[in-house]
Chains A and B, each alone.
Chain A
Amino acid sequence: MAVITYRDALNRALREEMERDDSVFLLGEEVGEYDGAYKVSKGLLDQFGEWRVRDTPIAENGFAGLGVGAAMVGLRPVVEFMTWNFALLAYDAIVNSAAKMYHMSGGQYNVPIVFRGPGGSALQLAAQHSQVPDPWYANIPGLKVCAPATPADALGLLKSAIRDDDPVVFIEGELLYNVKGEVPDGEHLVPIGVAEVKRPGADVTIVAHGKMVHVALQAAEHLAKELEVEAEVVDLRSLRPLDTASVIESVQRTHRAVVVEEGWPISGIGAQVVDDIQREAFDSLDAPVARVSGLDVPMHYARSLEKLIVPGPEPVIEAVKHVCYLD
């Protein structure tokens, strides 16, 4: 086990898969000479050359569509978006082309492509640069969606995504790149669509993904220390397919649930998770399920309000107290 950053885990995943399969190539803005806007692709241009590490013009719909075409004839492109905010310009290529091709060709043209980049808020980047794209893609049949929280999952899920024969939307955390964690030596694959319990606990289930897993873990530590409440933190890891079974299994043991996400509440990921819990585990529940999400507003620049909008451990702690009837 080595301890590496989330960024280096992604870099390792790309390098290993490009070494393993010469149909894998990376394209996007600044991925080559500049080593990537977040340095995820560091050193790859030197190792693999320009046809496999391609600096693109700032034309998201164009280069995402290029990836789709290359994938249709058998290459395995990894399309990097500098951030997911800019991928809105490529929504057509992802949703109308990548997600539909296999279906509307009657199973002839699959699209083995990964669209990846950072999502969510960073620090004071304001409304256009601080969005959580997760539900925009989790809603789309034909796509798979991953949102890893740790370096090990970033490594294992990205490798699985590159090997997958369907389009995978891979949402990294803009504030997670420097997070360090243990990563297994040797080949490490994490299956898409399988959640993981990141902290066991008997009293309440906290469901989260991406950056919010770390918020949930902080909340859980506080709850254990201050209130002797043992929270189980379930990391979804993938948003489509969604591993509802793991969530249900946990809730059936703890009888209480809080569902956390960074994005907006209306039609959010949490809305889906709560729907599944109420239907599949209704008789196990000792309290209505609580949700914690970002506030339902565009992101503020001012740090005072940004801190209020993005959920931290405090609202998660409050929600847990509520479902445990401790407030």
Chain B
Amino acid sequence: MASTEETVVGEAPGGLSKEKLLELLRAMLLSRRFEEKTAESYQMGKIGGFCHLYIGQEAVAAGAIGALREDDYVITAYRDHAQALVRGMSPNSVMSELYGRIDGCSRGAGGSMHMFDKSVNFMGGHGIVGTHLPIATGVGYAIRYRQTDQVCLCFFGDSVVNGGPFHEAFNMTAKWELPVIYIVENNSYGMGTDIDRVAAVDELFTRACAYAGKRAEQVDGQDVLAVYAAVERAAERARTEKRPTFIEAQTYRYLGHSMSDPAHGVYRTREEVAEERERDPINTFVDKLTDAGVLTDDDVEAMDKEIIDEVEAAAEFAEASPVPGPEEVYAHVYSDEYRGGPDGRDAWR
């Protein structure tokens, strides 16, 4: 995943190999197409519950996870489809989870907000704002405890830096020198609240300076290469110096907070959204690659078509996957036998 050794194209963007550049583009395109399909399925009633789309923010997940090794850990909040896919989870298993089917990564128990896949060290999918930051600290603790050189990459939203768990977690991570990379996806809004209305600082990364010092930085989250470079540096630092890093990636979500929210109105204008779409992370990256001669327009179109087919196939797979049966209801409450009490307690079910 992190090998960047191969043929570096002359003036290749970011000094990366062609293979790596294509991997980053593919990751972003897959996220985008997958979520367009997700929105469609949601509107058809095939997906339920809270469903938060990542469209507009793809460069953050692609760049950050692209800079990791396969044995590193990734953890995130509820806006998690793209991270799951980029980390290598199959579109079939993510889509089936969205559809609430047994072939879903979490067997239909988690849904949109709770994607997990232990085989690729993807640790969720967490629905309570801020809760997973201390969990990431714990993963970092375990890495130091076992004396390996893995890292834990932790994504979260801008609203998190105003809450207690962020500070509790980061203080311990810094004090004990744990290899955790915190990356805030600053899309300017927590649901419908402009971060400027509730944060006492203007620039979010300054919140982390108390714990990360100069290792708190800001990057353009719409530039996949900038994100990649920042996380690559942070990962190297985590592996060798065991120091945490805080990265503020400035990004933007095009759609509403979740599928049940409007894209604009009240807290932001239609014009603002249109303006942000101008610096679309996928389009700008495609331009960069075609300008540099890494790819032709035809190549891009072919990749896009292949991805669209893959996503359509995932939706068909999910549609055909069985719904969980009643035998699943108590199956994973405990890792040993469920012992709830006398049967009489649920006699009328």
Contacts and interface: CB of A to CB of B under 8 A. Distances in A.
B134 A68 contact: yes
A105 B172 contact: no
A137 B172 CA distance: 27
Contact of A105 (B106, B139, B331): B106
A110 B335 contact: yes
A181 interface: no
A116 B38 CA distance: 43
B22 interface: no
B45 interface: no
B171 A96 contact: no
B331 A107 contact: yes
B131 interface: yes
A105 B110 contact: yes
B109 interface: yes
A120 interface: no
A69 B141 contact: yes
Contacts of A101: 124
8 contacts: A57-B175, A63-B134, A66-B172, A77-B138, A105-B116, A107-B107, A108-B118, A241-B341
Contact of A69 (B109, B128, B136, B164): B136
Contacts of B127: 96
A68 B342 contact: no
A57 B114 contact: no
A129 to B, nearest CB: 21
A241 B340 contact: yes
Given A62-B134, A66-B134, A93-B134, A102 B114 contact: no
Interface string A47-89: 0000100101101011111111111111101000000000000
Interface of A: 25, 51, 54, 56-57, 59, 61-75, 77, 92-93, 96-97, 101-110, 141-142, 144, 164-166, 193, 241-242, 244-245, 248, 276, 279-280
For the complex of A and B, list the 5 residue pairs with the smallest distance between their C-beta atoms, beginning with the closest: A69-B138, A65-B134, A62-B168, A106-B107, A106-B106
B252 interface: no
Contacts of B118: 105, 108-109
A238 to B, nearest CB: 10
Chain B, interface residues (CB within 8 Å), range? 35 or more
A86 to B, nearest CB: 13
B104 A70 contact: no
A241 to B, nearest CB: 4
B139 A72 contact: yes
A90 B197 CA distance: 28
Interface string B329-349: 001111110011110110000
Given A59-B172, A65-B165, A276-B345, A166 B335 contact: yes
A241 B342 contact: no
B56 interface: no
Contacts of A25: 145
A108 B119 CA distance: 9
B141 A70 contact: yes
A56 B172 contact: yes
B179 interface: no
Main SS of chain B's interface residues?
A: mixed
B28 interface: no
B329 to A, nearest CB: 10
B142 A106 contact: no
Given A65-B135, A69-B134, A70-B141, A108 B106 contact: yes
Nearest to A110: B335
B171 A57 contact: yes
Given A57-B172, A67-B138, A77-B138, 14 more contacts: A62-B169, A66-B138, A69-B141, A73-B142, A97-B126, A97-B128, A97-B131, A103-B333, A104-B106, A105-B124, A105-B125, A106-B104, A242-B341, A245-B342
Contact of A57 (B105, B106, B168, B335): B168
B117 interface: yes
Nearest to A238: B339
A279 B117 CA distance: 42
Given A57-B172, A102-B334, A70 B134 contact: no
B108 interface: yes
Contacts of B172: 56-57, 59, 62-63, 66
A62 B131 contact: no
B37 to A, nearest CB: 22
Given A70-B139, A70-B145, A105-B106, A62 B165 contact: yes
Contacts of B75: 69
Interface string B263-275: 0000000000000
Given A65-B135, A104-B114, A244-B342, A51 B144 contact: yes
- Most chain B Cβ neighbours within 10 Å, of A54, A66, A68: A66
B254 interface: no
Contacts of B104: 106
Contacts of A109: 116, 118, 123-124
A79 B283 CA distance: 49
A175 to B, nearest CB: 29
A96 B131 CA distance: 8
B179 to A, nearest CB: 13
Given A108-B116, A109-B118, A75 B331 contact: no
Contacts of B176: 54
Interface in B294-349: 331-336, 339-342, 344-345
